[in-house]
Structure 1
Amino acid sequence: MNLRYMKDYFAWLYYQYTIISCCAVLEPWERSMFNTIFLTILGMVVYTAYVFIPIHIRLAWEFFSEIFGDQSTIANF
Structure 2
Amino acid sequence: MDVKNMREYMGWLYYQYLLITGIYVLEPWEKSIFNTVLFTMVAMVVYTSYVFVPIHVRLALEFFSGLCGEQPESTVALMN
Asked whether the two chains share a fold, i.e. TM above 0.5, the reply is: yes
Aligned-residue RMSD, C-alpha: 1.9
Structure 2: stretches of 5+ with no match in the other structure: none
Q: What does residue 8 of structure 1 align with?
A: 8
Query: Where does structure 1 differ by over 6 angstroms across 4 or more consecutive aligned residues?
Result: none
Matched residues in 2 for 1:8 and 1:55: separation? Answer: 42
**Deviation at 1:64?**
0.6
Identical-pair percentage: 55
> Superposition pairs for residues 1-77 of structure 1, below 5 Å?
1-70=1-70
Distance (whole Å) between structure 2 residues aligned to residue 36 and residue 24 of structure 1: 15
> In the TM superposition, what is the alpha-carbon distance from 1:59 to its structure 2 partner?
0.5
* Unaligned stretches of 5+ residues in structure 1: none
Counterpart-to-counterpart distance in 1, 2:61 and 2:12: 43
Q: Greater CA deviation, 63-72 or 10-19?
A: 63-72
Q: Compute the displacement of 1:5 (Å).
A: 1.1
TM-score normalised over the length of structure 2: 0.84
Larger RCO, structure (CA 8 Å, separation 6 or more): 1
**TM-score, structure 1 as length reference:** 0.87
